[in-house]
Amino acid sequence: MAEADPQKTFNVHEAKTQLSRLIERAHAGEEIVLAKAGVPYAKLVPIDPPVPMRRTPGRFKGLLGDIPDSVWFDPLPDDELDAWEGKYSNIV
């Protein structure tokens, strides 16, 4: 295994105390090597920003199957509608 650059190699304890700073360095393009007892174990590297998905109308059409229009457009029975509106006409 090749020798790691000491300027970019941090033991775990040191990395824990400077994690925010190391993340900023990695975000800026550096590769940071994390070591355990001086042995390289992991690497912090920058990631490519996610590509935003383009919105497509109708993309989810049919996802829930066929839902009958009656679910959305049939009126509620009068007693249930009264209950929703706070009118309790069926209570004496």
Domain residue limits at 24:
6-44
Contact 26, 51 (CB under 8 A): no
pLDDT computed for residue 67 by the predictor: 78
CB 12 within 8 A of CB 36: yes
Per-residue pLDDT 10s for the chain (92 aa) are: 445 566 789 999 999 999 999 999 999 999 999 999 989 999 999 998 888 888 888 888 888 888 777 777 777 788 888 888 887 655 55
CATH number at residue 18: 3.40.1620
Number of H helices, E strands in the chain: 4, 3
Is position 50 within any domain? no
Residue 59 lies in a domain: no
Enumerate the H helices of the chain as residue ranges.
12-17, 19-27, 70-73, 78-84
Give the total number of structural domains in the chain.
1
What is the model's pTM?
A: 0.49
Rounded to the nearest angstrom, the gap between the alpha carbon of residue 69 and the centroid of all alpha carbons in its chain is 34
